[in-house]
Amino acid sequence: MKVWVFSEEHHGRPAASALELLAKAREYGEAVVFHVGAGSAEAFAELGAHGASEVHHLDPGDTLAAAPAAAALADLVGDAKAVLFGMGNLDRDVAGRLSARMNRPVASNALDVISEDEGQAVVTEILGGTLRVVKAITADDPAIVVVRSKAFTAEPTGGSAPTVVPVTMPDVGHSGAVQVLERHEEPSEGPDLEAAEIVVSGGRGLGDAERFKIVNELAELLGGAVGATRAVVDAGWVPYSLQVGQTGKTVKPKIYIAAGISGAMQHVVGMKDSSIIIAINKDPEAPIFGIADLGIVGDVHQVLPKLIDALRERGN
Amino acid sequence: MKIAVCAKQIPDPATPYELDPEHHWVVRPDDQVLDDTDRYGVEIALQLAEASEGSVTLFSMSPAGNLQGIRQALAMGADKAVIVSDPALKGSDALVTAKVLARAIEQEGFDLVIAGTESTDGSAGVLPQQLAELLGAPALTFAKAVEHDGDTIRIHRQTPDGYDEVEATLPAVLTVTAGVVEPRYPTFKGIMQAKQKPVEQLTAADLGFDAAEVGAAGSAQYVRSVTPVPARQAGEIVEDDGEAYRKILELLEQAKVV
Ligand SMILES: Cc1cc2nc3c(=O)[nH]c(=O)nc-3n(C[C@H](O)[C@H](O)[C@H](O)COP(=O)(O)OP(=O)(O)OC[C@H]3O[C@@H](n4cnc5c(N)ncnc54)[C@H](O)[C@@H]3O)c2cc1C
Ligand SMILES: Cc1cc2nc3c(=O)[nH]c(=O)nc-3n(C[C@H](O)[C@H](O)[C@H](O)COP(=O)(O)OP(=O)(O)OC[C@H]3O[C@@H](n4cnc5c(N)ncnc54)[C@H](O)[C@@H]3O)c2cc1C
């Protein structure tokens, strides 16, 4: 049985989600990738090493190719069991369009996909991970599923180079006419947020962009990565790449320090599976204390400087 | 510019929503509120309309209830609202919702459709893209900033490490993140005027849908089971007396990370 995985290229590599999804897709027998990007040899090799037998490659050039990609995929996925997408922006753009084009539902926020005699079911969690929901899909295959990050663990199989099949960009008229004029990147520093053993995250309680920097200072001392809430990302204090939560990254570090974070459901789903959670918040009623192993009721700007000084004294 | 804004009425998110035990659908009380996510879309719409002598019409699919959520968006300054409200729509998934909204929007006509990136209750996060495909329109998604120049809309599209400048021409669909603008608060005058603004209520049949095409009947997925997840145990909570940082240090030492 065949399962398709959507992959977008970033800096010459497939998105992390594509490699995670391949771990699941392989279970079905045949894993095939639809890859959008410039098409580096390294990206193809990595997809192959994670079990992709074929990579269908669409080079969008300077087009934001959601509509053309969906049209091309709709023509390709005929007898597949499922088409798996990550939570990336282009993933969601293509999944939504494919759904409307093929008149099939999208099952979103999936944490697992179960193959059943009649179609598929998708497992998800709602309300901050307090309820587990099983959604059954009654449409004909392929099932279109959008999967949360870290639902599956990427693992190379040592597979060989995949067959690369170029995809010509279909002409979809006006809906395909979206031009990318310029790309702006803010360089990120420090360890990778999703892989780090220690994550220090800050919320609105830090006060402002300037005072947020104490989070960076602590993370650096601990050799950890910096995370943030959406409130802080939306305020422009830090880039989106640092956002932890439902619409950001999922992290499962050994230590998660939540500073000035209320613990909204949408944040909690991205970090609740950390081994140890430490929270600092001046409001004793803050929901974050409900899941913290250690909760300090206090002012971040009192607690963190002392912690930083103590760590420095120890020569950290 | 003729602007259609998706405005979802949701149960007040201050408390977790409830699911009815039989079908596991969200229980929708009479006094639903405007999804906070859509206040950003309304604000951008008002700004674009002000700059182009345009109009702003809200589109919503939901039990009408007391229309509190819709009135909140009208009070911000939207001109009128179309709400599709019908018991036959219960259990609709995102694709069916997109089909219903698409038909209502097409009937009214549009240059630009604005939606949030994901709703607060359902959070499927794909409805605007489904809508764009159904409307045959390009989609400018995940906008952090929006500009327009005649028929061209240009956005800063959020990317993992920054943003892309992306543009398309009208008619188009636009989705906005919560960072895009600071939504205005309704003025007293706005709130008073909202009570007089036209709110058109439509049924599925008004839009030419058969009962079998919409609601649970028309949706090719359903929630089969809902079970509680064992909660994580809360640990030790201490009041900072100036020395609480030591507790953190001890825990870091125990975990052998320092
Ligand atoms: C569809 C949807 C998706 C979302 N996705 C995400 C997501 O992916 N990630 C995410 O994080 N959020 C997400 N959110 C937003 C989420 O609901 C919350 O709004 C957000 O997480 C709140 O961020 P915060 O904790 O920084 O801010 P707040 O909720 O404002 O909390 C700030 C906290 O700081 C405390 N505080 C203030 N001053 C101090 C001080 N001096 N010392 C100590 N504590 C202090 C306060 O007591 C408060 O608890 C999403 C929302 C929606 C609707
Ligand atoms: C816990 C839960 C999980 C669900 N999972 C799925 C799923 O995986 N797949 C699926 O297809 N459906 C799912 N649904 C059903 C889905 O939420 C509803 O069909 C809903 O009407 C539309 O989807 P959304 O709000 O999730 O859309 P999203 O794609 O999250 O919404 C994006 C934007 O579209 C606009 N919008 C969405 N709905 C409306 C509306 N009714 N009126 C006006 N504007 C609107 C808003 O601007 C919103 O910000 C789920 C519902 C629940 C409660």
Give the total number of structural domains in chain A: 2
Give yes or no: residues A234 and A139 share one domain.
Answer: no
Pairing relationship of beta strands B9-10 and A225-228 according to DSSP bridges: unpaired
Q: Which of A144, A177, A210 is the last residue of a domain?
A: A177
The rounded mean pLDDT for chain B is 96
Give yes or no: residues A126 and A207 share one domain.
Answer: no
Q: Which residue of B has its CA nearest to A188?
A: B161
Residue B159 amino acid letter: T
Write b or e for each residue in A122-142: b if 16 or more Cβ atoms lie within 10 A of its Cβ, otherwise e.
Answer: bbbbbbbbbbbbbbbbebebb
Provide the terminal-to-terminal Cα distance of chain A, rounded to the nearest Å.
52
Ligand 2 center from residue A115 Cα (angstroms): 24
Determine the pLDDT at residue B233.
84
Give yes or no: residues A251 and A116 share one domain.
Answer: no
Give yes or no: residues A133 and A244 share one domain.
Answer: no
A264: left (phi over 0), alpha (psi -120 to 50) or beta: beta
Is the domain B2-218 a CATH 2.40.110.10 member?
no
Q: What residues of A are in contact with residue B110 (Cβ under 8 Å)? A: none
Q: Is residue A251 part of a domain?
A: yes
Q: In which band, very low, low, confident or very high, does the pLDDT at A109 lie, cut at 50, 70 and 90? A: very high
Q: Is residue A108 part of a domain?
A: yes
The helix (H) or strand (E) run that includes residue A53 is strand A52-58
Residue A169 belongs to domain spanning: 2-177
Residue list, ligand 2 pocket, CB within 6 Å: A 105-108, 126; B 6-8, 26, 37-38, 41, 59-62, 92-95, 97, 101, 115-116, 118-119, 121-128
Residue A66 amino acid letter: A
> Over 90: is that where the pLDDT of A118 sits?
no
Give yes or no: residues A76 and A15 share one domain.
Answer: yes
CATH of the domain at A231: 3.40.50.1220
Give B230: exposed, middle or buried? Use CB within 10 Å, 0-12, 13-18, 19+: exposed
Q: In which band, very low, low, confident or very high, does the pLDDT at A246 lie, cut at 50, 70 and 90? A: very high
The predicted model gives B177-182 an average pLDDT of 89
The predicted model gives B38-67 an average pLDDT of 97
* Min Cα–Cα distance to chain A from B166, Å: 4
Q: Is residue A295 part of a domain?
A: yes
What is the distance, to the nearest Å, from the Cα of residue A91 to the centroid of all Cα atoms in its chain?
A: 10
CATH of the domain at A75: 3.40.50.620
Pairing relationship of beta strands A131-137 and A179-185 according to DSSP bridges: unpaired
Give yes or no: residues A40 and A153 share one domain.
Answer: yes
Our separate counts of H helices and E strands in chain A read 8, 17
Of the listed ranges A14-23, A94-103, A110-119, B200-209, the one predicted with least confidence? A110-119
Question: What digits encode the pLDDT tens for the residues A186-199?
Answer: 877 778 899 899 99
Q: In which band, very low, low, confident or very high, does the pLDDT at A302 lie, cut at 50, 70 and 90? A: very high
The predicted model gives B145-150 an average pLDDT of 95
Determine the pLDDT at residue A191.
87
Q: In which band, very low, low, confident or very high, does the pLDDT at A39 lie, cut at 50, 70 and 90? A: very high
Q: What residues contact A42, with CB distance under 8 A and at least 6 apart?
A: A12, A13
Q: How far apart are CA B33 and CA B70, in angstroms?
A: 8
The rounded mean pLDDT for chain A is 95
Give percent of chain B above pLDDT 90.
93
Entry pTM: 0.95
- Degrees (nearest 5) of the Cα angle B32, A107, B229? 75
Q: Which of A204, A218, A240 to mutate to test the pocket of ligand 1 (most atoms within 8 A of CB)?
A: A204
Q: Is residue A187 part of a domain?
A: no
Contact A100 B141 (CB under 8 A): no
Ligand 1 center from residue A262 Cα (angstroms): 5
| Closest ligand to the CA of B90 | 2
Select from A136, A124, A93 the least CA-distant residue to A6: A93
Question: What digits encode the pLDDT tens for the residues A195-216?
Answer: 899 999 999 999 999 999 999 9
> Over 80: is that where the pLDDT of A316 sits?
no
Ligand 2 center from residue B247 Cα (angstroms): 43
Give yes or no: residues A276 and A305 share one domain.
Answer: yes
Contact A254 B167 (CB under 8 A): no
Give yes or no: residues A43 and A155 share one domain.
Answer: yes
Q: In which band, very low, low, confident or very high, does the pLDDT at A259 lie, cut at 50, 70 and 90? A: very high
Select from A268, A297, A127 the least CA-distant residue to A201: A268
**Which ligand 2 atom sits closest to the C-alpha of A110?**
8
Q: Which of B117, B118, B239 to mutate to test the pocket of ligand 1 (most atoms within 8 A of CB)?
A: B118
CB contacts under 8 A, B 77-116 vs A, are: 93-95, 98
The structure tokens listed for B156 are 């800063």
Determine the pLDDT at residue B142.
97
Does the beta carbon of A173 lie under 8 angstroms from any beta carbon of chain B?
yes
Compare B258 and A30 and report the one with higher pLDDT. Answer: A30
Q: Is residue A154 part of a domain?
A: yes
> Over 90: is that where the pLDDT of A58 sits?
yes
Q: Is residue A186 part of a domain?
A: no
Does the beta carbon of A274 lie under 8 angstroms from any beta carbon of chain B?
no
Pairing relationship of beta strands B162-169 and A179-185 according to DSSP bridges: antiparallel
Q: Which of A142, A177, A212 is the last residue of a domain?
A: A177
Q: Is residue A135 part of a domain?
A: yes
Q: How far apart are CA A60 and CA A129, in angstroms?
A: 37
Contact A310 B127 (CB under 8 A): no
Select from A100, A135, A85, A90 the least CA-distant residue to B95: A100
> Over 90: is that where the pLDDT of A184 sits?
yes
Give yes or no: residues A83 and A168 share one domain.
Answer: yes
Select from A151, A145, A36, A192 the least CA-distant residue to A44: A36
Give yes or no: residues A231 and A128 share one domain.
Answer: no
**Residue in B117, B225, B234 nearest the CB of A290:** B234
Q: Which of A177, A207, A239 is the last residue of a domain?
A: A177
Determine the pLDDT at residue A69.
98
Q: How far apart are CA A60 and CA A210, in angstroms?
A: 39
Give yes or no: residues A204 and A74 share one domain.
Answer: no
Select from A291, A248, A40, A20 the least CA-distant residue to A147: A20
Give yes or no: residues A167 and A214 share one domain.
Answer: no
Determine the pLDDT at residue A186.
80
